[in-house]
Amino acid sequence: MSVKEKFLDYVSYDTQSDSSSTTMPSTMKQKLLAQHLADEMVAMGIEDAHMDEWGYVYGTIPANCEKKNVIGFIAHMDTAEEVSGANVKARVIENYDGEDIVLNKELGIVTDVENFPILKKFKGKTLIVTDGTTLLGADDKAGVAEIMQAAEDIIKNNLPHGEIHIAFTPDEEIGAGPNKFDVKGFGCDFAYTLDGGELGGLDYENFNGTSADVEITGRSVHPGSAKNAMKNAQNIAIEFHNALPYYDRPEYTENREGFYHLCSMEGDVTGAKLGYIVRDHSAESFAARKETMRHIAKLLNEKYGEGTVELELKDSYFSMLEKIKPHFHLVENARAAIRKAGLEPLETPIRGGTDGATLSYMGLPCPNLGTGGFNYHGPCEGITVEAMDKATEILLNLADIYKDVQ
């Protein structure tokens, strides 16, 4: 199969993860794709390919040259929670004309050039899109397909290579992808993740991230006699939110600027909950943001009574840069592999996180390579076949480079 055929096969599997789940993986349906990939790897000659009890897939392509250098490639199988990944109806547009794409005429869903100017870059390409009712799953089944295609090309064509280790992970989208990753068993000193991003993307610096859950306890009293007695949890929740810097929100920030993002809110007079994610590239600013939230909670408890506001901060990941610096050959060799494919590396700090960030802190330094998709996590998600072909070429170039590294 081609990388296009592999991708279309993989997106037919619903692998949406679930942050409310307490299991690993968070949804058992992820194991269906995992086992499918393990079986496919065995069929192409990766004899030790297997899925473990947690839904991770591992496999090794033994070296076929004198030097036994080791490199790893990793991608995640799950899709985001925001939009359904079930019953994906992928549509292939040959020789895309660069104009608005009507995804679903009946529902009036259009990917328009005005709001998504990136579409202009894909004129003349073979574009894969959705029918507007689901996400596509290019994040990160494109990465999975590209790794699988590179593996097949290496084995089928007997290309010279060192030892190559492959892993596919569940639950990256909910920040749990590395939780049960067997770093020691994986057998690499370093690796690359392929996860989202533009073609030619090379990421080795990312957000520091934490989740912040705010729980507010109110007191209900008949509104006719509520003066100096009622404690409306919803109003206190609004007060908490309004105390945060107004323009430090995703819709007002870019580049290295951090933010507080209100993801969820619910409540009534007696109780309210706010769910945030907090991000910043600077470790100092990241710490300051968390302290700001603690300070607001403290002031509100002083105002309304101790225990009114409970704040729980849970760090998700940290910037990988500090762990990549001692292994900067990963960046230099990736630059060379990208340039060999006729592209110029796109190096910008990630406004998000990847499995590689956490894995880097677990002892497996992992820069990230772009897979070539766009408009991730929504019905306007898409990718070109040409981008997947080129991303596969970059992996083959890396395998070639690392076979000769001392």
Q: Catalytic residues, which ones?
A: 78, 172
Cα separation of 380 and 101, whole Å? 9
**235 φ, ψ (degrees, to nearest 5):** -65, -35
Q: How many CB atoms lie within 10 A of CB 250?
A: 15
Closest by Cα among 238, 320, 312 to 278: 312
* Single-letter residue type at 120: K
Cα separation of 394 and 199, whole Å? 10
Alpha-carbon distances of 369 from 99, 219, 256, rounded to whole Å: 28, 51, 19
Helices (H) and strands (E) in the chain, counts: 10, 16
Sequence-separated (6 or more) residues with CB below 8 Å from residue 273:
213, 214, 215, 216, 237, 264, 265, 266, 267
The pair of three-digit structure tokens given for residue 115, joined into one six-digit string: 């709001």
Alpha-carbon distances of 161 from 312, 364, 396, 399, rounded to whole Å: 48, 21, 9, 6
